[in-house]
Chains A and B, each alone.
Chain A
Amino acid sequence: MKYKNYLIPEILCVVCLIGFIVWICILSSGGTQKSVDEVTVPVVAVMMQNQMTKKTNADAIKAFDFDVSKIEGLAYYSNDSVMDVSEMLIVKLNDADDASEFKTAIQNRVTDLENTYKNYAPDQYALLQDCIIKTSGNTVFYCTAQNADELYDAYKKAL
């Protein structure tokens, strides 16, 4: 009987597996060395006119109830009108371990806003439901907007 060599496909599979694991780990961790401002510029470029205006860090901390000591830098943009919930937040942390805590804080704010708008302005409520909250390593991105996907893509590229 002829002996077939399966070693090469086997090794190939193992290589693929390792490649896949590395890829998925990079995908789920990430993070950046760049400053928040560097990351924010290209994202702001994607925003529509009059969609959001820059807010101070104090506004952000008041709105999200963040722990200031854990933040390295942040950028917060939102719409001034009560009838428009569009907002975007990029926050870079000193320690990536705190990311989940910040994610929860953002989630809490979104829930509060949802409760306010749920029975009042269904279109704004729908935007909140489709909001993006993503962690990549030491940076947390949050956006509620019509074009949140575009903003997120721009942010991803800027990292």
Chain B
Amino acid sequence: MKKTNIYENENKNVMKPNHNLYEFISAAAVIFLLFMASLLTFAGKDREYSENENRTLASKPVFSFTSITDGKFMDDTDAYLSDQFVFRDALVKTRTNIDVFLGKREINGVYIGKKHYLFEEPSVYNETRVRKTINTMNGISAKYGEIRSYVALAPNSTEIITDYLPANAPVQNQTEQIGKVYSLLNGYTCIDICTPLKNAENPEDLYYKTDHHWTADAVDIAYRRICESMQLDANAYQYNKLAVTNDFQGTLASSSGIFSASDTIYVPTCPSDIMYRVSYVNEGKTCTTVFDQSKLQEKSKYDVFFGGNFAQVIIETNSSSDRVLMVIKDSYANSLIPLLIPHFKTIVVVDPRYYSDNLNQIIEREEVTDILWVYNANTFLNDTSISGKLS
């Protein structure tokens, strides 16, 4: 039978080795590794928690009729075996090293820059999302016209430490993004943080190498800029920087799995004549410092500021000022607020992501005189929690 020329196949054997002995040796090695991986994984004790990944590892799946028929049992088994796989952490680390060695410069949304600098992949400007946030913000400034309202959006490290970005890294022009947001706001004094940070002498000191937050140096610049806009005297109170840890490996290190560098965290010391009391409203906790030293023993060392993020924190001071400030913020503000304490009678700190009620309540209850929004551009552009927080 004559075959059509479209389909003429020649089945060539792809592997044509002649030396059975060596073939056998490599096959034996593979089979040995296979059985060893299996034995060691099952013989090993289940780990409950992974220090590296900061999460509870999957445990033995539950066997039941429904979990079988809807496939949950199978998915759980896969997750369980992968999580408990022998030498898991070492395997993951090897992978990261291979990736970086082969030239990869983006892992899990983290850019791997020069001199151990890691960068968070910047957010894109989502028109509808930003519009919703802006509507709420404008609603507040319109409703409380007598309150002085300020917005300070901070750029992220991709905008400032441009020299250490990996070549060609796709970044967003955050100065432009922030400008766009500012142009949509009504009734706010918009504070330009980008320019002074860009003009700083050592831009590489403004952000942590391994974390997406800004450092004390950047906070100092932003603080002076904010004081200018809010008519506060930044030089009225002197503070010192105190290094509290130098082995901080932050979120970007964890996300990418690259733990090649560590950062130092500095906290500002408060002028000695200023006393204050901090109340965590939802937690019903009160203390006399905004620093939580216990967090320095943990992985999340940036939480030394305020101990993390809370829905509502009220700071009452013995300052001679009669202004009441409300800070609506993300975690960038946590390291900034300590510097603002001496300037206000009361500071109410609200994190809309964890505060579920309307903002009106607090504004009216605390008789707020100033509102300051502090966000970093990435979080602000992705935020969905501000919209709808006004009744």
Contact = CB atoms under 8 A, between A and B. Distances in A.
The reply to whether A and B meet directly (CB within 8 Å) is: yes
Contacts of A82: 282, 311, 354-356
Contacts of B251: 119
Interface stretch (B225-233, B318-326, B382-390): B382-390
B311 A126 contact: no
Contact of B309 (A62, A112, A120): A120
Contacts of A30: none
B55 interface: yes
Nearest to B388: A62
Interface string A37-66: 000000000000000000000000010000
A115 B382 contact: yes
A122 B56 contact: yes
Interface in B309-365: 309, 311, 353-356
Contacts of B272: none
Size range of the chain A interface in the assembly: 10 to 19
A112 B56 contact: no
Contacts of B282: 82
B294 interface: no
Most buried by B among A122, A149, A153: A149
B388 A116 contact: no
Majority-rule SS of A interface residues: helix
Interface in A94-130: 112, 115-116, 119-120, 122, 126
Contacts of A120: 309, 353-354
B66 interface: yes
Majority-rule SS of B interface residues: loop
B56 A126 contact: yes
Nearest to A80: B356
Nearest to B311: A82
Interface string B279-291: 0001000000000
A112 B132 CA distance: 15
A26 to B, nearest CB: 15
A149 B56 contact: no
B83 to A, nearest CB: 13
Contacts of B66: 149, 153
Contacts of B388: 62
Interface in A118-159: 119-120, 122, 126, 149, 153
20 contacts: A62-B388, A82-B282, A82-B311, A82-B354, A82-B355, A112-B384, A115-B382, A115-B384, A116-B353, A116-B385, A119-B251, A120-B309, A120-B353, A120-B354, A122-B54, A122-B55, A122-B56, A126-B56, A149-B66, A153-B66
Interface of B: 54-56, 66, 251, 282, 309, 311, 353-356, 382, 384-385, 388
Interface of A: 62, 82, 112, 115-116, 119-120, 122, 126, 149, 153
Given A82-B311, A126-B56, 14 more contacts: A62-B388, A82-B355, A82-B356, A112-B384, A115-B382, A115-B384, A116-B353, A120-B353, A120-B354, A122-B54, A122-B55, A122-B56, A149-B66, A153-B66
